[in-house]
Structure 1
Amino acid sequence: AVFGRRFNSCGYMYIEDKSGGIHQPEIDYDYGVKEADQLIKNGGTFHFYDDQTDNYVQKNYHLLVNHTFTPQWRLNAGLHYTTGDGYYQEYKIGRKLVEYGMKPYEVSGENVTKSDLVRKKAMDNWFGGGIFSVSYTNDRLNASLGGGLNRYDGDHFGKVLWVKNYLGQLNPDNDYYRNNATKNDGNIYLKANYELGGGVSAYADLQYRHITYKMHGRNDKWNDDTNALQTLHIEDKFDFFNPKAGLFWQINTNNRLYGSFSVAHKEPTRNNYTDGKLTEHPKAERLFDYELGYTFANSWLNLGANLYYMDYKNQLVLTGEKNEIGEAVAANVPDSYRMGIELMAGLKLNCGFQWDINATFSRNRVENFSETLYEWEDPTTEAWKIDRGNTPISFSPDFILNNRFSYTYRGFEAALQSQYVSKQYMTNAKRDDQILDAYFVSNLNLAYTFKLPRMKSVIVGCTIYNLFNETYENNGFAGSGYSLNDAGEKERYSYATYAAQAGTNVLGHISLSF
């Protein structure tokens, strides 16, 4: 808030005071913000790196085959191949040279171990494979057998392009880290829906997945134990059986009741391996999902309610922390759950007015959460464990409401969409000083559709986002650690950083259909 809600620290290099002096306050911390604020008030100017950039290019290729053998039997198959490459180029302040494969140097008898630098973190990957399904349909049965086999192969590497006042030899083409990850993912499933009679139908879905994950090379994360970049040597295998089953009862034309049970598993992502603490190895998630629902629908009104209970083992939940490039970090918690009720309603009148509303009331908890703090957040120091009991899962609001009013007349449409999100804790420790406040935000969309020669339709319109200029934050990051006071006692500290969202802004759009 000191520098305004539009301030972005990406590419920050230094502040130049009105006399030409150069200052580099650490604006990630309160004391740095205060110093920077005073410099700006005294006539100072922020300077940013002009080539701070984020680039990614992706190319997709698909070959699809659909064939109908008989009215009952059909085949769907496809091959896909995707290539991608991109990079971040960033200005970093006061980085340790040894972490970038460079030796310290001396200037005027002083040993320089840190310097500003420009780094480029890049990736080069491809993803390819095939999928298929064979389906059978008759009066009472819909069934399909399918599966797929896919492979991902990705390189991650980094280069140092420039170092401030560096006296050694710098080769921007050298990698200071490089690692390769491969993932093979095969699955096969059999699912069917069968009408039992009396408006009752049953469905079942059985899936088996086999995954092999390998990652080798040097990571960009420093390991103080080895005094070198972290070495990745990961070879994991996962075998998942994911069954689903449910019953549907079409009571009459307007009323429907359903219930289901499913088991799902999810393997860790690459970031879960590379961004977690060096002493922790991520585990796969397991979910038991129970649902019971009811819907009502006629020509002008629809209503629905869905009760759910999601029981997790080793759920990967956000910790509130960010990695080096600003991505959210997640870690396993042994036991957790999400439970609640989803409500929905819709009203559609012949005059062109429509009202749609849905809400979720939920309770999302980590069971028996144990918080681990380190001195100045250095995982090589003594761990301080604090048992918190059952705590809210981070970034999981207990109440969400979505509302939409729309009106159409001939080619004109106006729609007002609003969302309310209750408060969210930014970590799993239930700290009142690490909260995203509740917010309510609305967007207005106006559009007109007409026809032109040789065109199906033309849609011209605009969307006014954050119509009422709400001041809010919907994301951020937070963390905690401890320091030792003069008596050698541990004292906790916490911090939180918020992603301020834009005020009222307008986007115009045009859509052409041929």
Structure 2
Amino acid sequence: MIKNLIATGAFFVLMGTALAQHSLTVEVVSNENDEVLSGASVQLTGTLSTVHTDQSGLAVFRNVAPGTYEVQVSFVGFHTQAREITVNDDEQTRFSMRRSNVLTDEVIVQATRASEQTATTYKNISKEDIAKNNIGQDLPFLLNQTPSVVVSSDAGAGVGYTGMSIRGSDATRVNVTINGIPLNDSESMAVVWVNMADFASSVDNIQIQRGVGTSTNGAGAFGGSINIQTTTLNEDPYAELDNSFGSYNTLKNTVRLGTGLINNKFSFDGRLSRVKSDGYIDRASSDLKSFFLSGAWHGERSLLRANVFSGKERTYQAWNGVPEALLATDRTYNEFTYEGQTDNYTQTHYQLHYSNALADNLTLNTALHYTRGAGYYEEYREDDEFKSYGLEDVTIGGETITATDLVRRRWLDNHFYGLTYSLNYQTGVNLNLTLGGAYNEYRGKHFGEVIWAQYASNSALGDRYYEDDAVKKDFNIFGKAEYRIDQLNLFADFQYRRVAYTFLGFDRNLIQLDQTDYLNFFNPKVGVSYQFDNNSNVYASLAIGNKEPIRKDYTESSTNSRPRPERLKNVEAGYRITGRNFNLGANGYAMLYRDQLIVTGQINDVGSAIRQNVPDSYRLGLELDGQWQPVRPLTWSVTAAVSRNKIRNFTEYVDLYDYQSQQEIFYKSTNIAMSPSFVGSSELAYQPFTNAEIALISKYVSRQYLDNTSTVERSLDAFFVNNVRLAYNMKFKGIKNVGLTLLINNIFNEKYEANGYTWGYINEAGAREHFNYYFPQATANFLLGLNLKF
């Protein structure tokens, strides 16, 4: 398969070259003093070509077919310009750029972003790319066509509890920031996207870095990092309505408003959203509400922006999955039937950003942030023992009752706040220095309440049967340097991170929790890239990342059995090339783990089966990401990732039937759980006429094992899913755009599962029994959206 893919890619490149005839040279200078602008982005619209100007301020498009093109030039701190150029022979044109009278929002995320010269692998996703599919599903599903990404949904339809992995690394190993501010939960280290309903409607752009990537704020990136920038300055006032509906009573309503630039100084933007769905799985409903508000003061050399955004969710629980025995007969089965079996949470974020261009080559960025989260999940429990809640047994008519049916709520009440900063210094095109860092503090309360019981014991309404206070302090500082010598670019990045984690109280199993851990991490990264010309470069990098255990690793262990932090050496090497009608990136990687934390089944000294360190494991892979436009109406985007994900020596601990002892089973070179060896995607888009598009969107994911034993009986089958997107945009008097989008998901009605888990034991006869649970994804379904822009 891989040989065929490489051969096909080579054929596309040769075809693109054969079709081309002329060259177009674009010179970009400042209109103030004719100073050349190196690094300006020059795009040939209608093609796949985007080229950055070299040290002479030149961008050269080779092999350009005769015709008329729109050339668009953008550069940070200058107004974007566009003009039509007719190419009949070798052509040259000059853009004299006018400096913007306001500081642009791009500086806010500058410190944590990779550039074309950075020796790492990344994918940029524009606002336009996001909007194409943003008609109801959560943000992970909008990133599904990026390399090495696998997404899943508990409810099956992409709304509610959704998740994603990158290179087989789950959400706890993917670092997510919003405007440079950490989003990952400080204790679980995951991102709960259900708290971010319709957040994509307030996103301007996203950069996904795979592997360790460059230094950023928050938890260590082991699989990748997702760097999100929210709404930036729109100089003109606007109003926008988005409404969509679809299968499973899915409904999305969004209102967006913006004032544009007022008096050349102020701007205000807002969004209000509602998303509802019954879900593909029985009773797996979602009721999500959110808003986004942003106000900014724009100066010529400074920018002050305040963001407030919030999400409130109520979802019916579907997180136990479907037992394997029911998968063939009842794929939408949900074991929960209690009406109040819901998850309820509200999370509000406050951000204050200040940027100042202290000099032409020196920019300061600072930010203060505060996140307030509170909520609970409610459960109906049958025949729970009173002692599990610290309650006394009940005596009725001489009979002692030791257990009762009850309803409980488990609460999380937390505060997360801190500051981030960066100072960027750039001299011409040869040297770029960045000093950045952050201090963040998390304070969380975990507690539980019994709100109803069939038999009342010695508790009162509002009593807490467990309570645990946690404090986590996270400090980091990093420095980055890029130095260019002719076509050679050298990169170095050094980060120091200190974590202090303390929790006091009792956990939900009424076990005393009093632990403190202090961790110090040094994360160096070095790389080199070589620019052959404006259109192609090669790069290689070596990075080291360290990451602390998650909350459960601490709370279900003593200080004697506490797992050690994980350590990763990450080698990346790749080649990028852009032509008139194609672009292609090829990247190879090696991710070498020491003490990776995985589930082994082993019971520790407090009787809990938690993740344990394995000394030696790795991920090796090759990723391809390309686009080809053989003719203007037709574009093919494709990604492919082939990988080998192994634990060199693995010992599994399986409970015996009496649950008093365990049997050890040894495996040599076994596969890491939930790590597919091949992930591929394709989007074939055709424009039959102006403002209309038909796209076939495909995704293939190979077999994934539910545990670390490489056993087919405990695995997810490979799946190949195809969607169709139909879009048409038009204008009417007084309306800037009327857009209709129809998204038909899983058009071939593929029955597949994207996530799952397993458990088991060895019975009295010595045979192994296992119990697999799966999360089926929706069969054929649709979403229809209407967009109105004023």
Shorter-chain TM-score: which interval? Answer: 0.7 to 0.9
How far 1:480 moved relative to its partner? Answer: 2.4
Which of the residues 164, 168, 172 maps onto 2:457? 168
The one-letter amino acid paired with 2:613 is: N
Alignment of 1:352-431 (within 5 A): 352-376=633-657, 378=659, 381-408=660-687, 409-431=689-711
- SS at the partner of 1:193? strand
In 1: Cα distance, 2:789 partner to 2:423 partner:
33
In 1: Cα distance, 2:781 partner to 2:556 partner:
35
Q: Which residue of 2 aligns with 1:494?
A: 770
Which of the residues 178, 195, 214 maps onto 2:502? 214
How far 1:318 moved relative to its partner? Answer: 5.6
How far 1:10 moved relative to its partner? Answer: 8.1
CA contact (8 A) 1:291 1:306 kept: yes
1:60 equivalent to 2:336? Answer no
In 1: Cα distance, 2:323 partner to 2:482 partner:
57
1:335 equivalent to 2:612? Answer no
Q: Which residue of 1 aligns with 2:581?
A: 300
Which of the residues 423, 429, 432 maps onto 1:134? 423
1:446 equivalent to 2:726? Answer yes
Gaps of 5+ in 2: 1-278, 286-319, 603-608
- SS at the partner of 2:759? strand
Q: Deviations over 1:397-440 (max 9, x none)?
A: 11111111112342222222111001111001222221100001
How far 1:234 moved relative to its partner? Answer: 1.9
CA contact (8 A) 1:404 1:418 kept: yes
Which of the residues 439, 442, 454 maps onto 1:149? 439
In 2: Cα distance, 1:366 partner to 1:480 partner:
21
In 2: Cα distance, 1:447 partner to 1:183 partner:
47
How far 1:474 moved relative to its partner? Answer: 0.8
* CA shift in 2, pair 1:167/1:125, >3 Å: closer
How far 1:133 moved relative to its partner? Answer: 0.7
Q: Which residue of 1 aligns with 2:782?
A: 506
TM-score normalized with structure 2 length: 0.55
How far 1:169 moved relative to its partner? Answer: 4.0
In 2: Cα distance, 1:239 partner to 1:433 partner:
41
CA contact (8 A) 2:567 2:596 kept: yes
How far 1:512 moved relative to its partner? Answer: 4.6
How far 1:170 moved relative to its partner? Answer: 4.0
Q: Which residue of 1 aligns with 2:409?
A: 120
- SS at the partner of 1:48? coil
- SS at the partner of 2:713? coil
* CA shift in 2, pair 1:103/1:147, >3 Å: same
Which of the residues 241, 248, 251 maps onto 2:522? 241
In 1: Cα distance, 2:682 partner to 2:419 partner:
40
Higher strand residue share: 1
In 2: Cα distance, 1:388 partner to 1:145 partner:
45
Q: Which residue of 2 aligns with 1:95?
A: 384
Higher helix residue share: 2
- SS at the partner of 1:299? coil
How far 1:111 moved relative to its partner? Answer: 3.7
CA contact (8 A) 1:412 1:449 kept: yes
Which of the residues 564, 567, 572 maps onto 1:283? 564
- SS at the partner of 2:683? strand
Number of residue pairs matched?
467
In 2: Cα distance, 1:507 partner to 1:204 partner:
46
How far 1:481 moved relative to its partner? Answer: 2.0
Gaps of 5+ in 1: 12-25, 41-45, 222-228, 322-327
How far 1:330 moved relative to its partner? Answer: 4.8
How far 1:250 moved relative to its partner? Answer: 1.1
How far 1:210 moved relative to its partner? Answer: 0.7
In 1: Cα distance, 2:364 partner to 2:657 partner:
59
How far 1:340 moved relative to its partner? Answer: 1.1
CA RMSD in angstroms, aligned pairs only: 3.1
* CA shift in 2, pair 1:7/1:417, >3 Å: closer
- Between the aligned residues of both structures, percent identity stands at 37
- SS at the partner of 1:271? helix
Q: Which residue of 1 aligns with 2:512?
A: 231
1:316 equivalent to 2:597? Answer yes
The one-letter amino acid paired with 1:174 is: D
How far 1:251 moved relative to its partner? Answer: 1.6
- SS at the partner of 2:552? helix
CA contact (8 A) 2:623 2:641 kept: yes
* CA shift in 2, pair 1:510/1:83, >3 Å: farther
* CA shift in 2, pair 1:289/1:152, >3 Å: same
How far 1:102 moved relative to its partner? Answer: 1.9
In 2: Cα distance, 1:168 partner to 1:438 partner:
51
* CA shift in 2, pair 1:512/1:330, >3 Å: farther
The one-letter amino acid paired with 2:352 is: L
Q: Deviations over 1:362-404 (max 9, x none)?
A: 00011210001223584xx223211112210000011111111
CA contact (8 A) 1:316 1:330 kept: yes
In 2: Cα distance, 1:319 partner to 1:406 partner:
45
* CA shift in 2, pair 1:50/1:9, >3 Å: closer
